[in-house]
Amino acid sequence: MRIHTHLIQRGKTFAPSTPSWAEISLKALQHNFLELKRLAGDAEVLPVVKANAYGHGLVPVSKALVGAGAKALAVATVREGVTLRNAVVTCPILVLTPTLPAEIPTLLQYCLTPQVSSVEGARELAKVAKQMKVSRVPIHLKLDTGMGRVGVRVERAVREFDAIRRMPGIRVDAVYTHLATADWLDPKYAWKQITLFKQALDGFRKISGGKTFQSHMANSAALLAYYPQSAGTWVRPGLALYGVYPNQNLRSKAKLIPVMQVKTRIIHLKALDKGQSVSYGRTYTAKKPIKVATLSLGYADGVQRVLSNKAHFLVRGKRVPVIGRVCMDMTLIDVSKVPGVKLGDIATFFGRDGKTVLSVNEQATLAGTISYELLCAVGERVPRIYV
Ligand X SMILES: *Cc1c(COP(=O)(O)O)cnc(C)c1O
Q: Which stretches of the chain bind ligand X, using CB under 6 A? A: 48, 50, 96, 178, 219-221, 236-240, 246
Please state, in angstroms and rounded to a whole number, the distance separating the CA atoms of residues 26 and 6. Answer: 16
Please state, in angstroms and rounded to a whole number, the distance separating the CA atoms of residues 208 and 159. Answer: 12
Pick 20 or 230: Cβ nearer ligand X:
230
| Catalytic annotation present for 280 | yes
What is the nearest approach in angstroms of ligand X to the Cβ of residue 108? 21
What is the nearest approach in angstroms of ligand X to the Cβ of residue 64? 17
Pick 66 or 147: Cβ nearer ligand X:
147
337, 313 in Cβ contact below 8 A? no
What is the nearest approach in angstroms of ligand X to the Cβ of residue 96? 5
Pick 49 or 333: Cβ nearer ligand X:
49
| Catalytic annotation present for 50 | yes
Pick 107 or 126: Cβ nearer ligand X:
107
Nearest one of 333, 261, 323 to 296, comparing CA atoms? 333
Q: Count the alpha carbons within 13 Å of 74 in the hemisphere toward its beta carbon.
A: 21
**What is the distance between the terminal CA atoms of the chain, rounded to a whole angstrom?**
11
Cβ contacts of 97-101, under 8 Å, gap ≥ 24: 97/150, 98/150, 99/125, 101/128
Helix (H) or strand (E) holding 269: strand 260-272
User: Minimal CB distance to ligand X: which residue?
Assistant: 238
- Residue among 206, 211, 280, 337 flagged as catalytic: 280
Pick 219 or 230: Cβ nearer ligand X:
219
Tally Cβ neighbours within 10 Å of residue 208: 14
What is the nearest approach in angstroms of ligand X to the Cβ of residue 140? 10
DSSP symbol at 232 = S
- Residue among 50, 63, 142, 263 flagged as catalytic: 50
Beta bridge partners of residue 265, listed in sequence order: 346
Please state, in angstroms and rounded to a whole number, the distance separating the CA atoms of residues 209 and 204. Answer: 9
What is the nearest approach in angstroms of ligand X to the Cβ of residue 278? 36
Beta bridge partners of residue 144, listed in sequence order: 153
Catalytic residues: 50, 280
